[in-house]
Amino acid sequence: MKLLSGNSNLTLAKAIADYLDMPLTNASVRRFADEEIFVEIHENVRGEDVFVLQSTGYPVNDNLMELLICIDALKRSSARRITAVLPYFGYARQDRKPGPRTPISAKLVANMITAAGADRVLSVDLHAGQIQGFFDIPTDNLYAAPVMSADILARFSGKNLMVVSPDVGGVVRARALSKRLGNAPLAIVDKRREKPGESEVMNIIGDVEGRFCILIDDIVDSAGTLCNAAAALKEAGAEGVVAYVTHGVLSGGAVARVEGSVLTELVVTDSIAAPPAVADAQKIRLLTIAPLLAEAVKRIADETSVSSLFD
C-alpha cells in the first residue's frame, strides 16, 4: 500500500506514516501562478492500494480541490484502489435542507469525491451519521471517543465527572462517551440558535451542582456555543468545565473567546491543522488521533475489521 498526502495537514500525515513505519509517497502538490492546483506523483502506483490523506478544513475549497485532483491523478496512474482519508469532512454541517431553496452541500461533496474516482472513504466523527449514506462507495466513520475517554480518565479520574452535551443534537455522542467513562451521569444544555454562529443558552437539563463537567462536541468553529454552555454550567454550580471536541475549526476570534471564557481547558484533536493562534493559547491542548487513523488504514489494507477498534 501507499500513503499520499495533500497539503492540508502534513503533520498528521507524517505521524500516521511514522506509526505505520512507511514513507509518504513522493509527489508534488503545488500551485500555478493563478492558484490552479497541479499534482504530479513521482513514483509508480500501478496496482497499489493508495490512501490519500487530506482534511478539508480551512481553506476548505482549496483543500477539497487538492483531494479531488490527487484522486484523479491516482486513477489515471492505474492505482488498484483509492481510499480518501478525511480526518475532517468539510461541508458536513450542510447535511439537510434547513429551509427552502438551500443546498445539501455534504451530498454534493460526496458525489464529487465518488466521481473523482475514490473507491472508499475513511473519516472521523462525521457531523451527522447519515452522511455515510450520501456516498455510493464503502464509508468508514471512526470515533475519537476512545482517545478522548483515555485522556479524561488519565487526567480527571478522581473528579466527580458529568458528561454534558452542548445541544440536544449531540446527546448520542455524549451518551457514548458517558458509557466509556463508567456510565457517568449525563446533562444537556438546551439552547436556541437565532442565526448561524450565534447561540443563546436557555436551560440546563440535569443537576450539575458540584460536578466536574466534560463538554463533548464534534466541531468547534466560533466557540460561541461552547463558551456560553460553560458559563451556564458554572452559574448552575459546576465545579469546573473542560471541553473535548474532535474538530478544532477555531475560525475568527474563537481562540481569544476560549482564552477569555470560564473553560478550564479546550482539548481538540489534530484532525485539522491548528490555526497559528493556538500555539500561544494557554487553554487549548491538542490530542493526536494519528494512531487511531493509522490502525484503521492498516486494517483496511489488510481487509480486517475496522469496527473492532471500538470494542
Distances (CA, A) of 62 to 65, 66, 159: 5, 6, 43
Indicate the DSSP class of residue 24.
B
94 annotated to bind ligand: yes
72 annotated to bind ligand: no
Query: Which parts of the chain fold into alpha helices (H)?
Result: 10-19, 60-75, 105-116, 145-156, 171-180, 224-235, 254-259, 290-302
151 annotated to bind ligand: no
225 annotated to bind ligand: yes
State the Cα–Cα distance between residues 49 and 133, nearest whole angstrom.
23
192 annotated to bind ligand: no
36 annotated to bind ligand: yes
State the Cα–Cα distance between residues 290 and 293, nearest whole angstrom.
5
Burial (0-12, 13-18, 19+ Cβ within 10 Å), 60: middle
Cell of 58: 480551512
167 annotated to bind ligand: yes
State the Cα–Cα distance between residues 257 and 267, nearest whole angstrom.
15
State the Cα–Cα distance between residues 80 and 159, nearest whole angstrom.
50
62 annotated to bind ligand: no
Contact assessment for residue 12 and residue 53, using Cβ atoms and an 8 Å cutoff:
yes
Catalytic residues: 191
What residues form the annotated binding site for D-ribose 5-phosphate? 193, 217, 221-225
What residues form the annotated binding site? 34-36, 93-94, 127, 167, 193, 217, 221-225
What residues form the annotated binding site for ATP? 34-36, 93-94
